[in-house]
Structure 1
Amino acid sequence: MSETMRAVDVKGGAGPVEALHITSIPKPVPSGSQALVKVKAFGLNRMDLLQREGHYPVPPQAPKTLGVEFSGIIEALGDAPERGFKVGDEVFGLAYGGAYAEFVAVSTHMLVHKPKELSWEQCAGIPETWITATQAMYLVSKYAPGKSILWHAGASSVSIAGIQLSAADGASAVYATARSDDKTEFAVKTLGATAAFNTKTQDWAKEVLKATNGKGVDIIIDFIGAEYFAANLEAIARDGVIVNLGMMGGVQLKEGTSIAAFVMKRVTFVGSSLRSRDEEYQGKLRDQLVEHALPRFIDGRLQILVDRVLPWEEIQEAHRLLEGNKTKGKVICTIG
């Protein structure tokens, strides 16, 4: 058995799209609870772009190779795997890194058996996206049926998951924002949002207040950061929760930004991330995904939307697609 494998690397350690290339690196050896998975497909995420550029704080246990979600076949196991996994099993899962490669070593606590009804490409697009949405909704914002919720970046992969989960799990109303009419229409007609607002052409906070008869929305899931900070405080309801998962719109607030709503509305603002969480925390989310969402993927109640599938030799083009913000669903690369 070869001790090396092919993997995507970044020339110089960090750089632009053109720095991505496929090279040979040592093949990982599984230990403890880990499995060595032969990768069939992997999903792209915005954190990959930041990590490629050297702007993402990678967890200490992560390999330098990009990629956190994948599907594939177990080739070997460490000496203490989770019960129920064996060599030859078809799986998908979430890793701390290393998925842009022919093989990835990952804890069996973060693996899920691949249903026969789903493709390799679909399964590679589930873990990071759907677990992040589940975490933001249930663990962080304490969502409960009957609450209203707004998902920013409504055509992004996490919001595609979150909008569907919210609608399926009894939200009183599900709102979304996006930067084009095409994407707002997609959020309503394809994903089931109650309404969606174009942040380039509409005052979306005022539209939310109008849609809720002045009450505001109970939960806001935000990936934008500083650019939407003031409007989030305007659109949130009394005792509402704003969950920040990203800073695509910057980190510096405009001078004069009022924080009065924190007291006047008793607003909770909480930041969260998934990749920096420990294995036990991530494992609980994996279990929730298996129990809560997997049956709905199989019977079609929840859609795994894949926008583009490319061979991994076209990894540069795959990153360009994500950078262009034109996709409505996952970008997936296949190996083999």
Structure 2
Amino acid sequence: MLVCKAVTFFAVIFQMRSIGYNSFDSSLHLQTDTEKPSLKEGDVLIKVEAAGVNRLDLIQVGGKFPPPQGESDILGVEVAGTVVEMTQTASEQTSLKTGDRVMALVGGGGYAEFCRAPYQVVMAVPEGVTWTEAAGIPENYLTAYQALVWNGRLKDGETVLIHAGGSGVGMAAAQLAKNLCKGVQVIVTAGSDEKLSVCKENGADFGINYKTDNFALEVMKFTNNKGADVILDFVGAPYWEKHSQCVAIDGRIIHLGFLGGSVLEKANLGVELKKRVTHFFSTLRSRSLEYRGELVKQFARDTLPLFSAGSAKVRVDSVHSAENATLAHTRMRENKNIGKIIITMTT
């Protein structure tokens, strides 16, 4: 009897809840016997309150986006929770301490009760921000910041075209564009009037229903034939020609995904040359720790005060328990969300 009790106690300490998946039907399931992550030097262990759902999670479930080498194969790249353990290096190199409310951008492992994160990618949760809101900041807002500031070099008075305006990244990009530069005009596309209405509440100056209107023509009308200085694209090949039509001279097009395909059947490169267009093809999950750490550092400096002040705010579309995680993925797969989908890991 004493031996059985000892074994049970061992399991409680070294096992945790996590969300697994079946690639054959894209379903998710709660599992209670996952091994807790072991910390590497420089790591912080976070007890996860909530995790953000991202399109790349759905792609990983489909077997097309495996985690980078050395990262957990558990889904989830952004978490919010409490610091419960730190390595010596993490303690020496950061002001973080156990008990702090934090959020982090991780390479994997977010859909779990505990998640490890290098201290370089951990940020304090801004005052007044809830767990569910905090879980929607790291991936979406860092992606938007990278695209607008590092890649797009957005400047005062410019015009930015943001596709998928009703998505988490789209809404983050609109808020940052308005707050980080003066006089920026934000144009968004979305697939319904309901989403466009919310986008305008979120700061968009002009909305285009891509299902009923030619967005290239509408952009040129809105800008008096100047075009958009910066374009954030998630669609890929099907939008290439229209982007050539509506990008401004010296414009920058940032490609963040290829939901519509990545193979071009034709492209008029002469138009791009004449306009001196710059293309950026950008990812975040596969970047080096040094890159992600510097991005997090600059992002925290430039944007976290906006959340405390209320100038930036995560629009939470829906919150799902770990037991109902499949519903979260289904909602995103069907493009029903307006804002951020969150999964809570607390019991």
TM-score range, shorter chain: over 0.9
Residue 150 (structure 1) aligned with residue 139 (structure 2): no
Question: 1:22·1:313 contact (CA, 8 Å) conserved in 2?
Answer: no
* CA deviation profile, 1:102-140 (whole Å, cap 9, x unmatched): 111111111112234111111111000000000001111
Residue 50 of structure 1 corresponds to which residue in structure 2? Answer: 59
* CA deviation profile, 1:262-286 (whole Å, cap 9, x unmatched): 2121111110011111112111221
* CA deviation profile, 1:18-64 (whole Å, cap 9, x unmatched): 25443422111112110111111111000000001101142112111
* CA deviation profile, 1:43-91 (whole Å, cap 9, x unmatched): 1000000001101142112111000101111111123103211222221
The structure richer in helix per residue is: 2
Which of residues 178, 190, 196 is equivalent to 2:190? 178
Residue 219 (structure 1) aligned with residue 233 (structure 2): no
Residue 317 of structure 1 corresponds to which residue in structure 2? Answer: 327
| Structural mapping, 1:75-154, within 5 Å | 75-81=84-90, 82-154=93-165
Structure 1 runs not aligned, ≥5 long: none
Question: 1:16·1:52 contact (CA, 8 Å) conserved in 2?
Answer: no
Residue 308 of structure 1 corresponds to which residue in structure 2? Answer: 318
Question: 2:51·2:78 contact (CA, 8 Å) conserved in 1?
Answer: yes
Structure 1 segments of 4+ aligned residues over 4 angstroms from their partners: none
Residue 5 of structure 2 corresponds to which residue in structure 1? Answer: none
Residue 237 of structure 1 corresponds to which residue in structure 2? Answer: 248
1:256: Cα distance to partner? 3.9
Residue 7 of structure 2 corresponds to which residue in structure 1? Answer: none
TM-score w.r.t. length of structure 1: 0.95
1:258: Cα distance to partner? 2.2
Question: 2:51·2:343 contact (CA, 8 Å) conserved in 1?
Answer: yes
User: Relative to structure 2, which stretch is displaced further, 106-115 or 155-164?
Assistant: 106-115
Residue 343 of structure 2 corresponds to which residue in structure 1? Answer: 333
Question: 2:317·2:340 contact (CA, 8 Å) conserved in 1?
Answer: yes
User: Relative to structure 2, which stretch is displaced further, 109-118 or 199-208?
Assistant: 109-118
Larger Rg: 2
User: Relative to structure 2, which stretch is displaced further, 147-156 or 85-94?
Assistant: 85-94
| Structural mapping, 1:285-304, within 5 Å | 285-304=295-314
1:287: Cα distance to partner? 1.7
* CA deviation profile, 1:150-199 (whole Å, cap 9, x unmatched): 101111111101111112222431111111122222222x1111111111
1:17: Cα distance to partner? 2.7
Instruction: Pick closer, same or farther for the CA change 1:42–1:256 going to 2, 3 Å.
Output: closer
Question: 2:66·2:73 contact (CA, 8 Å) conserved in 1?
Answer: no
Instruction: Pick closer, same or farther for the CA change 1:149–1:205 going to 2, 3 Å.
Output: same
Residue 264 of structure 1 corresponds to which residue in structure 2? Answer: 274
In 1, the alpha carbon distance for the partners of 2:156 and 2:126 equals 28
Question: 2:49·2:79 contact (CA, 8 Å) conserved in 1?
Answer: yes
1:320: Cα distance to partner? 0.6
Residue 37 of structure 1 corresponds to which residue in structure 2? Answer: 46
Question: 2:19·2:28 contact (CA, 8 Å) conserved in 1?
Answer: no
In 1, the alpha carbon distance for the partners of 2:124 and 2:225 equals 46
In 2, the alpha carbon distance for the partners of 1:186 and 1:16 equals 32
In 2, the alpha carbon distance for the partners of 1:87 and 1:204 equals 49
User: Relative to structure 2, which stretch is displaced further, 82-91 or 30-39?
Assistant: 82-91
